[in-house]
A = this chain, B = another copy of it.
Amino acid sequence: MDVPCADCPLRKTGAFSPNTTEEISFIQSFKRGEVNIKAGNLLVREGVISGELYTLLRGWAFRYRTLGNGKRQILNFLLPGDFIGLQERLGTQASSGVEVLTDAVFCRFSSERLWELYRNHPALGYDITWIAAHEELIVDENLVSVGQRSAAQRIAMLILHLYKRAESVGMKDAEGAVPFPVTQQHMADALGLSLVHTNKTLAQLTRQRMFTIRNSRMTIGEPALLNKLADYFSVPLRGRPLI
């Protein structure tokens, strides 16, 4: 029923660093089944003690945090291959929630065996550290956007970043379009903007043909212009670890 790790479709994208067959068989034994979540539902609720670890196998999701006044900040978007559950100390309250944008499948891992992973497979332990560090990098980038960029720049940045990430896991089709299940409300919550202003700025950029969003798919029209607008110099993200 479940996808065997040895046949993991994500590894075939070439976006991830290879592992030995021994490591993969440990990962397989570490895996405790798959979790299916329907679009719009939660994988992790804020403030709940869970201590579960997941890898997003298929679909899109996002990690967020809500304030007392009801405002929500999306911390980052999750694409296939992203690891979830390192944000808090295991066994404490989840500081952020995870909600799913499309129907999604997660691989669930046994947090009790995490210690065994570190003990018997130090290379995988190293990988997990690397994953945590890499995720911080993404949040760093978002913080720079929200703190210092104008609305148009933030949107340009988000579009570019998501396009690149989707492309890297093999989501680009023959026409150069990638799936884009993100509503304007999600963009607003991620960028610290109001929905209305997000809409108006978005409209301006699409009028300039910088990119197109239609039927939950996105294409980039003017990559150079968009990069310049966003003031963004991307580093290629290849060869990151996958658990």
Contact = CB atoms under 8 A, between A and B. Distances in A.
Contacts of A148: 67, 71-73, 192
Contact of A136 (B92, B126, B139): B139
B137 A87 contact: yes
B67 A137 contact: no
Interface stretch (A21-29, A103-111, A115-123): A115-123
6 closest residue pairs by CB, A with B: A147-B192, A132-B132, A118-B122, A136-B136, A86-B133, A71-B148
Interface string A139-157: 1101110111100000000
Interface of A: 65, 67-69, 71-73, 75, 86-89, 92-93, 95-96, 114-115, 118-119, 122-123, 125-126, 128-130, 132-137, 139-140, 142-144, 146-149, 189-192, 231, 235
Contacts of A96: 140
A143 B89 CA distance: 19
Contacts of A144: 65, 67, 73, 75
A114 B133 CA distance: 15
B147 A191 contact: yes
B73 A147 contact: yes
A65 to B, nearest CB: 5
B119 A115 contact: no
A135 B132 CA distance: 9
A229 to B, nearest CB: 11
Contacts of A126: 114-115, 118, 125
A119 B118 contact: no
A73 to B, nearest CB: 4
A93 B30 CA distance: 33
A14 to B, nearest CB: 18
6 contacts: A67-B149, A75-B140, A88-B133, A118-B125, A118-B126, A132-B136
Output the residue of A95, A142, A148 with the most chain B CB within 10 A: A148
Nearest to A231: B68
A73 B129 contact: no
B140 A95 contact: yes
A129 B125 contact: yes
Contact of A125 (B89, B125, B137): B125
